[in-house]
């Protein structure tokens, strides 16, 4: 990753990603409304909501709350820049963990019992999906070594492949789809924070957040959505224009699947989430590692 590519990625991701994330959130609401037999809001409703929040008076239970949320947003942007610039995948994962931790600290800083419960649930969610995410980077290294001859954590390596990464990591891709439901805060795994008003009156980890602070939370979610869907595309793209088309279609299909799951499954207990996510992680990763060893050695 050259300095020029980093600067271009920084500007492009910072400007374009929230626009794409906002449109995805708007489309999510429309599709959800159609599934529930409603008309639904306009496509740009998430933008209108954020604009209204930004115009509200700045109120905060703790003066550092906005600072922590700002850091969470900054680290999410950094992770997206590293990813779309073709940087180190492992670094992207760790930077995103920092973003999540600052979000949790912001909730704890309010000393509200509702926000603290939401923060605890956020930590449990992180414990559920992070093993899969970290092991996914390990299998990414193994797959690039098997397909390319030289193992690397650099995301840009997939553009030099003559076939998609999913050929070598089909089970890991399935594991990613499972934990993606947690990462996107979709039911049945939206334990700490939900984007649907009908889920709960007290809004989990963001209970004590309002105005500009809550607007930054929504914008951070837009950035994260673009990053996570980029992970899906990482498994489907290769060094051809056809690969880009396949990746785009795959991303659309996966997100529609997530919306369908969100609207057809009730929220589960955190114990079930942890057991299910760890079981899927162990089965998918170990089986795929064995498959890589048998087929590419």
Predicted confidence at residue 197, as pLDDT, reads 56
For the chain, 297 residues long, give each residue's pLDDT as a single digit of tens.
Answer: 667 777 787 888 999 999 999 999 999 999 999 988 888 899 999 999 999 988 887 776 777 888 999 999 999 999 999 999 888 999 999 999 999 999 999 988 888 888 888 888 899 999 999 999 999 999 999 888 887 777 889 998 888 888 899 999 999 999 999 999 999 988 888 888 776 654 444 567 887 788 888 899 999 999 999 999 999 999 999 988 899 999 999 999 999 999 999 888 888 888 999 999 999 999 999 999 988 888 766
pTM over 0.75: yes
Closest CA to 238 of 173, 142, 144, 136: 144
Judge if the upstream peptide bond of residue 190 is cis by omega within 30 degrees of 0. no
Q: Which residue has the tokens 């992680």?
A: 281
Predicted confidence at residue 195, as pLDDT, reads 66
With beta carbons less than 8 A apart as the criterion, state whether 114 and 160 touch: no
d(C-alpha 246, C-alpha 102), whole Å: 35
Q: Where are the beta strands (DSSP E) in the chain?
A: none
213's CB contacts (< 8 A; 6+ apart) are 60, 65, 66, 69, 106
């Amino acid at each position: 990753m050259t300095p020029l590519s980093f600067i271009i990625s920084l500007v492009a991701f910072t400007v374009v990603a929230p626009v794409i994330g906002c449109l995805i959130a708007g489309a999510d609401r429309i599709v959800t409304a159609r599934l529930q037999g409603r008309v639904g809001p306009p496509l740009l409703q998430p933008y209108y909501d954020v604009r209204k929040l930004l115009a509200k008076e700045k109120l905060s239970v703790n003066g550092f709350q906005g600072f922590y949320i700002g850091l969470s947003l900054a680290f999410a942007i950094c992770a997206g820049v590293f990813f779309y610039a073709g940087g180190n995948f492992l670094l992207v994962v760790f930077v995103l963990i920092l973003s999540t931790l600052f979000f949790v600290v912001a909730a704890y800083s309010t000393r509200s019992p509702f926000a603290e419960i939401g923060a605890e649930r956020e930590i449990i969610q992180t414990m559920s999906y992070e093993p899969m995410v970290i092991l996914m980077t390990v299998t990414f290294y193994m797959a690039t070594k098997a397909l390319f001859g030289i193992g690397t954590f650099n995301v840009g390596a997939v553009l030099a492949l003559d076939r998609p990464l999913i050929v070598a990591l089909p089970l890991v891709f399935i594991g990613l789809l499972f934990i993606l439901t947690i990462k996107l805060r979709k039911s049945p795994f939206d334990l700490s924070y939900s984007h649907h008003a009908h889920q709960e009156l007290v809004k989990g980890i963001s209970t004590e957040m309002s105005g500009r602070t809550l607007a930054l939370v929504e914008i951070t979610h837009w950035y994260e959505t673009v990053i996570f869907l980029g992970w899906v595309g990482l498994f489907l793209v290769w060094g051809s224009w056809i690969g880009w088309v396949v990746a785009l279609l795959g991303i659309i299909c996966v997100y529609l699947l997530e919306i369908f799951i969100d609207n057809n499954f009730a929220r589960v207990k955190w114990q079930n989430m942890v057991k299910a996510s760890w079981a899927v992680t162990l089965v998918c990763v170990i089986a795929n590692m064995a498959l890589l060893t048998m087929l590419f050695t």
